[in-house]
Amino acid sequence: MRNETVLILAIVVFSLVIGSKSPEFFTLANLFDILRSSFVQLLFALGVLIVIISGGIDVSFPIVGIFAGYTAVVIMQKFELNGESLLIPIVLAIVIGTLLGGVNAIAIAGFGIPTLIATLGTAGIFRGLMLTLIGSSFISDIPIALDQFSTSDLVKFESATGTLVRLHVLVIPITLITILISLILSRTLFGRSVYALGGGVEPTRRLGISVKGTQTKIYLLAGALSGLAGILYVSLQRKANPYDLAGSELDIIAAVVLGGASIMGGYGTVFGTVLGVLFINLIKNNLVLLGVSSSWQRAAVGALLVIGITLQAIGESRRNKRRRALSESEVESSE
Amino acid sequence: MLATQTAEYSVKDIVKSFGGAKALAGVSMSVSSEEVHCLAGENGSGKSTLIKIMSGVHAPDSGLITLAGKEFAHLSPRQAVNEGVQVIFQDFSLLPNLTVAENIALPTNILKSSKIVGKRETRKIAEEALGYIGVDIDINSPLVETSIASKQLIAIARATNLGVKMLFMDEPTTALTRKEVNKLFEVVDQLRKRGVAIVFVSHKIDEIQEICNTITVLRNGEVVAEGLMSKFKAKEIATAMTGSEIATSRIAPPLGKDSRSLLELEKLTSKNTFDDVSFSISEGEIIGLTGLLGSGRTELAEAIFGKYPVDAGCIKVDGKEVTLNSPEAALASGIGYVPPDRLTQGLFLEQSILRNIVAVGLDRQRSRWGAISKSKLAKIGSSWISELRIKTKNPINPVSSLSGGNQQRVVLAKWLSINPKVMILNGPTVGVDVGSKREILEIIRDRAQAGMAFLLVSDDIPELVQICHKVLVIRHGKISKEFNDKQISESAIYKELN
């Protein structure tokens, strides 16, 4: 069975279980809430997906995100830029995220440092730089446009039971970005090079693909996505806290891996990642409804990550067995 | 797609040194289109360096490269591709996670520097390429699920797509069965007829004689023999490669009259894999086991080593019935096993030669306190290095620094060092050059004379003929024929196999 199918089944089963315990679960309001809490994570996850397909791993993205978001807000205030513009902070954050991604690219493509170690190191550097040079204080009066954006709803009405049903306008750009990344991965030479790289570095090089060039593009793109995710996070939270997002790498990496991306590289789909993010959010937001204490959330997500990787390993060994059987039958049929 | 008139691809007086060592000392070779040229030589003779120079990976120190009339002092990889030089490496350089179609079409897209890759176009490119060489492979299946023989053909299809005019094939038949080799040769012959100059790199002399028109033999970076294939006898090629006469006659050591039986299989059966297999090996006896890929020969060998489940029958070691459900149990009963794929199964490539040799026997070297004496290990390791003539400057170098033949000796040393009663060798000379092969066979013979029992699982019929007391042919999981001493001959075994 395909990974995506398993995930859809898991989402359906989990939803039915929660729905049977609490009727509010199957409401439009709740669905929209889950979507809203998934936007930022999905952006981060798309960046992580590209990195993981290429055979790498990135643990610096939450810091890159908050660094970009927080710094954009600080710059807006310090230079008294037009607080009514939504575009300026977003562009600033994307630029900052891309620059930080560039640092990762230099470490990984330039110096050839293993990706986990490189991003672990840069995460520490970025965090230290932000707290000492940019600032370490909580900012609650973020620029007005960012603040207002948090309540820009595409759909907003009161349901029959009196609860407010809101669908955030972000659903449109996030959907477009998701489709765009999916097209990049499946239809462009760059995207196929990412898969090739995950399949093997040496064969990729022999094909005439620039390994360093591809890696550089990957980490720049991941940085840009993280920067955008960071500023949207700040906007949706209506505050800029430099200590936020730390630790969210667990949720995101778990979502991407559960979505079927192989931690060894070479495999992974955008659709799977979308499902992975939704599933993780479903679990995190609704465990409480099942009577599970919220302190168990991290344990649950951690367990899911381990389960996801175990399933991958089992699938791999099954494939191996089938392959063996296949090559034997091939020999027999040729006799 | 390909050149139509006869073209000449040659190198002249190529010199290439690495550090102080001369890898090529003035090599000249010429290959024309519509010819299959054999490039033969032992490991380290300079074959790979020559391939790398002609494909633009290395620049020569001096000399001239001429490709269809164009002269180059050196080539860049891109230039080489543009001039139609393609190399099929031993590992094929294919990407396991992509589909067959993409593996074939991706390089074409890169060459055209198209930014967008259409799925339909990809399939079209792949279908055309496979059709061109006349093979039928499902292009939508992931590459991991294709057989080694198919991978070879996919790599060839990919090369034709890039406008190949000169094709290097590095040891293309290593992992293929005889049937698959025949198919490969058909394709090679077809390419030749269409005007591709093919350079066939191989150790297997019978195959070279079958497919090649001309030959160049390298030894220590120099051309030691060249000319029309028909002018050479098999023995002469082997002699040119090694620089010494090689015995191809039988060298099986004499068997003691009343040697006791060390390993006995009685009606060993594993569902769907092998069935009712019985034989025994006595002290000092070398038994050969051969069969096509998928015949169950590897599974049978692994079953004796406790790695493959057995459903019925029994195994006796030294007269006592044993239950072998794990390699540990097999080891404890005195059975050793050298797997076919030394790179992934038999060696820790980045660890030192010394550590690799002592890796299996570590338990036996423990002192009373459980500590392992480094100096003792060094002594054991060094004695094996000299006994098996492993060529290395320093035993603490990683195994990856050794040539294939020497790596194989490290694997042998590792298992010999625990002195098993019965040693199972699966493809002990795969990918090993003629000289190393002879030495490995001599090592096996010497050990057998000292009383060790051997089960030699191999594709290499000449090798089985040379060294075995008895050869068993397995077919669909059953021993279909048993050849004893004087009945053993290459032609008889081939006949039984095909």
Tell me, letter by letter, the H, E, C secondary structure of chain B: CCCCCCCEEEEEEEEEEECCEEEEEEEEEEEECCCEEEEECCCCCCHHHHHHHHCCCCCCCEEEEEECCEEECCCCHHHHHHCCEEEECCCCCCCCCCEHHHHHHHHHHHHCCCCECCHHHHHHHHHHHHHHCCCCCCCCCEHHHCCHHHHHHHHHHHHHHCCCCEEEEECCCCCCCHHHHHHHHHHHHHHHHCCCEEEEECCCHHHHHHHCCEEEEEECCEEEEEEEHHHCCHHHHHHHHHCCCCCCCCCCCCCCCCCCEEEEEEEEEECCCEEEEEEEEECCCEEEEECCCCCCHHHHHHHHCCCCCCCEEEEEECCEEECCCCHHHHHHCCEEEECCCHHHHHCCCCCEHHHHHHCCCHHHHECCCCCECHHHHHHHHHHHHHHCCCCCCCCCCEHHHCCHHHHHHHHHHHHHCCCCCEEEEECCCCCCCHHHHHHHHHHHHHHHHCCCEEEEECCCHHHHHHHCCEEEEEECCEEEEEEEHHHCCHHHHHHHHC
**What's the pLDDT at B270?**
87
Nearest CA-CA distance, residue A191 and chain B, Å: 9
CATH of the domain at A243: 1.10.3470
**What's the pLDDT at A331?**
45
Kindly determine whether residue B95 and residue A319, on different chains, have CB atoms separated by under 8 Å: no
Confidence check: pLDDT of A334 > 50: no
What residue in A sits closest to B144 (Cα-Cα)? A323
What residue in A sits closest to B141 (Cα-Cα)? A323
Is the Cβ–Cβ distance between B457 and B274 less than 8 Å? no
Is the Cβ–Cβ distance between A98 and A223 less than 8 Å? yes
**What's the pLDDT at A296?**
86
B467 compared with A208, residue with greater pLDDT? B467
Instruction: Give the HSE-up count for residue B356: Cα atoms under 13 Å, Cβ half-sphere.
Output: 29
Nearest CA-CA distance, residue A278 and chain B, Å: 26
- A-chain CB neighbours of B179 within 8 Å are 331, 334-335
Confidence check: pLDDT of B437 > 50: yes
Nearest CA-CA distance, residue A233 and chain B, Å: 33
Which of the given ranges, A16-30, A116-130, B99-113, B420-434, has the highest pLDDT on average?
A116-130
User: CATH assignment of B259-495, given 3.30.1330.10, 3.40.50.300, 3.40.605.10, 3.10.20.30?
Assistant: 3.40.50.300
> What does each C-alpha distance from B423 to B284, B334, B364, B455 come to in angstroms?
11, 8, 18, 6
Q: How many domains is chain A built from?
A: 1
Provide the 3-class DSSP secondary structure of residue A158: strand
Q: Which of residues 200-229 of A touch B (CB under 8 A)?
A: 200, 202-204, 206-209
Cβ–Cβ contacts within 10 Å for residue B435, how many? 19
Is the Cβ–Cβ distance between B286 and B490 less than 8 Å? no
Instruction: Give the HSE-up count for residue A89: Cα atoms under 13 Å, Cβ half-sphere.
Output: 34
- The answer to whether A324 faces chain B, any CB pair under 8 Å, is no
* Segment A120-146 mean pLDDT: 95
| Inter-chain contacts counted by CB atoms under 8 A, chains A and B | 87
Which range (A35-39, A169-173, B102-106, B229-233) has the least confidence? B229-233
Confidence check: pLDDT of B227 > 80: yes
- B-chain CB neighbours of A198 within 8 Å are 97
Kindly determine whether residue A189 and residue B77, on different chains, have CB atoms separated by under 8 Å: no
- B-chain CB neighbours of A209 within 8 Å are 110
With 0-12 CB in 10 A as exposed, 13-18 as middle and 19+ as buried, what is B113? Answer: exposed
- A-chain CB neighbours of B98 within 8 Å are 192, 195-196, 199
Kindly determine whether residue B110 and residue A332, on different chains, have CB atoms separated by under 8 Å: no
Give me the residue label for tokens 């993780």: A280
**What's the pLDDT at B13?**
93
To the nearest 10°, report the CA torsion of B113, B115, B120, B124: 0
Residue A7's closest CA among A331, A258, A187, A195? A258
Is the Cβ–Cβ distance between B196 and B167 less than 8 Å? yes
- A-chain CB neighbours of B148 within 8 Å are 327
What residue in A sits closest to B93 (Cα-Cα)? A203
Which range (A227-241, B394-408, B440-454) has the least confidence? B394-408
Q: Which residues pair with B72 in a beta bridge?
A: B65
What residue in A sits closest to B115 (Cα-Cα)? A189
Burial B329-348, CB ≥16 within 10 A → b, else e: ebbebbbbbbbbebeeebbe
Would you say domain B7-240 falls under CATH 3.10.105.10?
no
Q: Which two tokens stand for residue A144?
A: 């007005």
Domain assignment of residue A241, given as a range: 1-331
pLDDT, tens only, A152-205: 988 888 887 778 888 999 999 999 999 999 999 999 999 999 999 999 998 898
Which range (A10-19, A209-218, A311-320, B210-219) has the least confidence? A311-320
From B109, B115, B293, residue closest to A331, measured CB to CB: B293
Which of the given ranges, A269-278, A308-317, B488-497, has the highest pLDDT on average?
A269-278
Which range (A176-180, B4-8, B215-219, B229-233) has the least confidence? B4-8
B132 compared with A62, residue with greater pLDDT? A62
**What's the pLDDT at B431?**
67
Kindly determine whether residue A326 and residue B147, on different chains, have CB atoms separated by under 8 Å: yes
pLDDT band at A1 (very low <50, low <70, confident <90, very high): low
Kindly determine whether residue B107 and residue A207, on different chains, have CB atoms separated by under 8 Å: yes
First to last CA, chain B: 37
Confidence check: pLDDT of A70 > 70: yes
Round the average pLDDT of chain B to a whole number and report it.
85
Q: Tell me which of B97, B271, B474 to substitute to probe the interface with A (most A C-beta atoms closer than 10 Å).
A: B97
| Sheet hosting strand B36-40, strand order edge to edge | B85-88, B166-170, B197-201, B36-40, B214-219, B222-228
**Cα B370 to Cα B375: distance, rounded to the nearest angstrom:** 15
**Cα B30 to Cα B41: distance, rounded to the nearest angstrom:** 16
- B-chain CB neighbours of A204 within 8 Å are 95
- The answer to whether A69 faces chain B, any CB pair under 8 Å, is no
- A-chain CB neighbours of B111 within 8 Å are 208
A308 compared with B341, residue with greater pLDDT? A308
What kind and span of H or E run contains A312?
A: helix A297-334
pLDDT band at A325 (very low <50, low <70, confident <90, very high): low
Is the Cβ–Cβ distance between B467 and B495 less than 8 Å? no
Give me the residue label for tokens 């562009």: A91
With 0-12 CB in 10 A as exposed, 13-18 as middle and 19+ as buried, what is B451? Answer: middle
Residue A120's closest CA among A64, A74, A176? A64
**What's the pLDDT at B67?**
92
**Cα B9 to Cα B14: distance, rounded to the nearest angstrom:** 14
Confidence check: pLDDT of B3 > 70: no
- The answer to whether A198 faces chain B, any CB pair under 8 Å, is yes
Q: Which stretches of chain B sit within 8 Å of chain A by CB?
A: 77-78, 81, 89, 91, 93-98, 102, 106-107, 109-111, 113-119, 144-145, 147-148, 177, 179, 292-294, 476
Which range (A193-207, A219-233, B42-56, B220-234) has the least confidence? B42-56
**Cα B360 to Cα B339: distance, rounded to the nearest angstrom:** 14
Kindly determine whether residue A192 and residue B117, on different chains, have CB atoms separated by under 8 Å: yes
pLDDT, tens only, B10-20: 999 999 887 66
B242 compared with A301, residue with greater pLDDT? A301
pLDDT band at A333 (very low <50, low <70, confident <90, very high): very low
Confidence check: pLDDT of A315 > 80: no
Confidence check: pLDDT of A74 > 90: yes
- The answer to whether A2 faces chain B, any CB pair under 8 Å, is no
Residue A143's closest CA among A69, A73, A91? A73
ipTM given for this complex: 0.84
* Segment A274-294 mean pLDDT: 86
Is the Cβ–Cβ distance between B217 and B226 less than 8 Å? yes
Kindly determine whether residue A331 and residue B145, on different chains, have CB atoms separated by under 8 Å: no
- The answer to whether A187 faces chain B, any CB pair under 8 Å, is yes
What residue in B sits closest to A267 (Cα-Cα)? B97
Is the Cβ–Cβ distance between A232 and A170 less than 8 Å? yes
- The answer to whether A80 faces chain B, any CB pair under 8 Å, is no
From B94, B114, B179, residue closest to A189, measured CB to CB: B114
Kindly determine whether residue B97 and residue A195, on different chains, have CB atoms separated by under 8 Å: yes
B44 compared with B12, residue with greater pLDDT? B12
Nearest CA-CA distance, residue A248 and chain B, Å: 29
**What's the pLDDT at A316?**
76
**Cα B458 to Cα B438: distance, rounded to the nearest angstrom:** 15
* Segment B289-294 mean pLDDT: 80
Geometric angle at alpha carbon B132, from B128 and B135, rounded to 5°: 95
B368 compared with B99, residue with greater pLDDT? B99
Confidence check: pLDDT of B371 > 60: yes
With 0-12 CB in 10 A as exposed, 13-18 as middle and 19+ as buried, what is B131? Answer: exposed
Provide the 3-class DSSP secondary structure of residue A139: strand
Give me the residue label for tokens 């009514």: A84
> What does each C-alpha distance from B233 to B209, B237, B241 come to in angstroms?
9, 7, 13
Is the Cβ–Cβ distance between B279 and B479 less than 8 Å? yes
- The answer to whether A1 faces chain B, any CB pair under 8 Å, is no
Residue A191's closest CA among A113, A268, A114? A268
- The answer to whether A315 faces chain B, any CB pair under 8 Å, is no
Provide the 3-class DSSP secondary structure of residue A164: strand
**What's the pLDDT at B253?**
79
Is the Cβ–Cβ distance between A230 and A67 less than 8 Å? yes
**Cα B274 to Cα B287: distance, rounded to the nearest angstrom:** 18
What residue in B sits closest to A54 (Cα-Cα)? B97
Q: Tell me which of B55, B117, B299 to substitute to probe the interface with A (most A C-beta atoms closer than 10 Å).
A: B117
Nearest CA-CA distance, residue A152 and chain B, Å: 36
pLDDT, tens only, A215-234: 999 999 999 999 999 999 99
Confidence check: pLDDT of B28 > 80: yes
From A188, A198, A323, residue closest to B117, measured CB to CB: A188
Domain ranges of chain B: 7-240, 259-495
- The answer to whether A43 faces chain B, any CB pair under 8 Å, is no
Is the Cβ–Cβ distance between B407 and B357 less than 8 Å? no
Which range (B326-330, B373-377, B473-477) has the least confidence? B373-377
Which of the given ranges, A25-29, A287-291, B90-94, B100-104, has the highest pLDDT on average?
B100-104
Confidence check: pLDDT of B91 > 90: no
Is the Cβ–Cβ distance between B87 and B170 less than 8 Å? yes
Confidence check: pLDDT of B198 > 60: yes
A34 compared with B402, residue with greater pLDDT? A34
Beta pairing class for B335-338 and B320-322 = unpaired
Query: What percent of chain B lies above the pLDDT cut of 90?
Result: 29
* Segment B177-206 mean pLDDT: 88
Q: Tell me which of B92, B110, B153 to substitute to probe the interface with A (most A C-beta atoms closer than 10 Å).
A: B110
* Segment A278-299 mean pLDDT: 84
Nearest CA-CA distance, residue B89 and chain A, Å: 10
**What's the pLDDT at B460?**
78
> Which amino acid is residue B84, in one-letter code?
G
Confidence check: pLDDT of B258 > 80: no
Kindly determine whether residue B116 and residue A190, on different chains, have CB atoms separated by under 8 Å: no
